[in-house]
Structure 1
Amino acid sequence: MNSPPPPVADLTWPPEAQRWPPVFPPVCACAWGDDRFGLWMDVVIGGPVQRFRWIEPGEFVMGSPEGEAEREEREGPQHVVRLTEGFWLAETACSQGVWESVMGSNPSRFKDDPQNPVEQVSWDDVQGFLREVEKRVPGVKADLPTEAEWEYACRAGSETAFSWGDGIDPSQANYRAKDSYAGSPIGEWRQTTVAVKSFDPNAWGLYQMHGNVWEWCADGPRDYDGASQVDPRGAEGKAPRAARGGSWNAHPFRLRAACHDGLWGVRAHFLGFRFSLR
């Protein structure tokens, strides 16, 4: 019996007028512009400046194809997701410097550089941080991306296991590089976090969507059934939350764009976040 054809996203959607922010620059921006990655703005968060990238609405195919190396069953079936609203996403995971400027302390294990990502923060800890950001940046809603928004931003138009292709090596991300993925080369396992801009960004200007620290999402992981979705959200309330992207101590297959799992409100030295403004 022949398998059904893979789902296909409508890359002509949305109409041109819906692609752009409703206001540009937003009132919270201290600097802004348009470069090869798209629209960006800088916002003062406490003391440090955080750059955000505009993630425009669009459609993409979520999940992994059956032939992807080391995929897990819960990553399928693939399905088309339409995101109807754009959002500003931090181009990096939240650094220790940004966290400490807002919260007044640094819970991280790896404190050798304030540009390392903050870790050892629970999902509830992050909610406290977001509410404090809103007090310092009036007129915005600070949030985590949903799991669907996270994968859309991570893929940045790609359909491969990683945003750059179907293989991985230690020059591209921070992970358990003594282990190989699908025949990819092995190398140094750093066994620590590194600064949030240590590797090249993806096609939308986002750094380290793969590796370094797992990133909390706003919602819990969904069960996929192959049906197309519009602005999907997983479980909320008293439920596990999705964590995406892999980390410095994760096996390379865990860094794939489609890899998803749920965690309860733990604090761990491999777990951080990046946030959005809306």
Structure 2
Amino acid sequence: MKRRRFFQYTGLGGLSLVLASRNSAIASVLSNPMDSHRPGLETFSFEVTTVNKAGKLQQPQTHTAKYFPESLNSVERLDMVEITPGKFWMGSSRSEAQAKGSEFPRHRAKLSSFFLSKYPITQAQWAAVAALPKVHRELSIDPSHFQGGNRPVESVSWLEATEFCQRLSQHTGRHYALPSETQWEYACRAGTKSPFSTGETIVSQLADYRANATYKAEAPGEYRQTTMPVGKFSPNGFGLHDMHGNVWEWCVDGWHQNYRSISVNNGRGRRPAAGSLAHLRTIRGGSWLDAPDKVRSASRSGYAETALNRTIGFRVMMA
């Protein structure tokens, strides 16, 4: 049994937040980016599988995208996928089944290009970066509850994920950070307007979530009750894997209960709301523990930046 304390819950939502001490030190990721040259890009091809309204798998379609490999050590690397600039509708439409108040109002957002890791950060990648020189705080080499080098790292706080980004930036000379909510949702949707990048619903052959519950007319599927190795399921149209389910993913943003009182400025993250009882950060994507409504593209929740949970991991962004 690990000695790190877990904050357990049965589902995440704006009203079911786990609070941590307000006196925790905050590691800023909003500093000016480091000067770095644009990396050389390589092209890769991949097949994207979607479903119809009944959850039947459709014929896979071939897509291409660009990426660059970032070396972490002599063995591990990080594949960073280019996300091209564009506009999209962020949040839920009023007609979307099981939409939550935190996903409104739907609004138009515009983003510049950026890079996002192809997969959630794995335990092997975490260990490689955790072995690099400390910037602000110590990192456990092996924090995860579900063990496996190619499984996503979990049971890491927002502060620890930020330290990971800072060590990676120091190691590579590029500016790595957690993605903003806007960047995350744009990347998750990959040009789609449906509740999932897979279509009007989702099935267990395409993601790791509590698939014994259903979203629409699809048949119940397998509930695995654990994280899965990254890349097991079909990617979305941008070539990104596990944007739905597996683990929730930390974003740089402070938590806001809806989009009414905030502005979205070219995808940059928002700080925690003034006067909060604790510093809460936004998480996106749902997890292996969650029903399908929680793994929709628009689904969002808040969690204390110092808290740990076996359902929360992260991926990294480079602008």
- TM-score relative to the length of structure 1: 0.84
Q: Name the SS of the counterpart of 2:68 in structure 1.
A: strand
The total of aligned residue pairs comes to 251
Which of the residues 271, 275, 293 maps onto 1:235? 271
Aligned equivalents of 1:235 and 1:134: distance in 2?
A: 21
Counterpart code for 2:180: T
The 5-angstrom pairing of residues 72-221 of structure 1 reads 72-83=100-111, 85-104=112-131, 105-111=141-147, 113-138=148-173, 140-221=174-255
> Residue 275 of structure 1 corresponds to which residue in structure 2?
316
Match for residue 76 of structure 2?
48
Q: Distance in 2 between matches of 1:192 and 1:125?
A: 22
One-letter amino acid matched to 1:261: S
> 1 or 2 for the larger relative contact order (CA 8 Å, sep ≥6)?
2
| Structure 1: stretches of 5+ with no match in the other structure | 1-22
CA distance in 1: counterparts of 2:170 and 2:38, whole angstroms: 20
Letter in 1 for 2:104: G
Alpha carbons of 1:269 and 1:229: their partners in 2 closer, same or farther (altered >3 Å)? Answer: closer
Shift in Å, 1:178:
1.3
Amino acid at match of 2:144: S
Runs of at least 4 residues off by over 6 Å: none
Aligned counterpart, 2:29? none
Q: Unpaired runs of 5+ in structure 2? A: 1-35, 46-62, 132-140
C-alpha separation in 2, matches of 1:72 and 1:240: 18
Alignment of 1:35-74 (within 5 A): 35=45, 36-46=63-73, 47-74=75-102
Within the alignment, does 1:245 sit opposite 2:285 as a pair? yes
Structure 1 Cα separation of the partners of residues 95 and 309 of structure 2: 32
Q: TM-score when scaled to structure 2?
A: 0.74
User: Which amino acid in 1 is paired with 2:293?
Assistant: F
Q: Contact 1:77 / 1:226 at 8 angstroms: preserved in 2?
A: no
Q: Post-superposition shift, 1:239? A: 2.8
Note if contact 1:145-1:276 (Cα within 8 Å) is conserved in structure 2.
Answer: yes
8 Å contact from structure 1 (residues 220, 235) kept in 2? yes
Question: 1:159: how far off?
Answer: 0.2
Q: Structure 1 stretch 129-138 or stretch 237-246: which is displaced more?
A: 237-246
**Matches of 1:44 and 1:172 in 2, distance apart?**
29
The answer to whether the 8 Å contact 1:25/1:41 transfers is: no
Q: Does the aligned pair in 1 maintain the 2:43–2:64 contact within 8 Å?
A: no
Task: Indicate how the Cα distance of structure 1 residues 99 and 158 shifts in structure 2: closer, same or farther if over 3 A, else same.
Answer: same
Alpha-carbon contact 1:168-1:185 (below 8 Å) kept: no
CA contact (8 A) 2:182 2:264 kept: no
Shift of 1:25: 5.3
Note the alpha carbon deviations across 1:71-124, whole angstroms, 9 max, x for none: 1122112110111x211110000000000111141100111x210000000000
Counterpart in the other structure of 1:259: 299
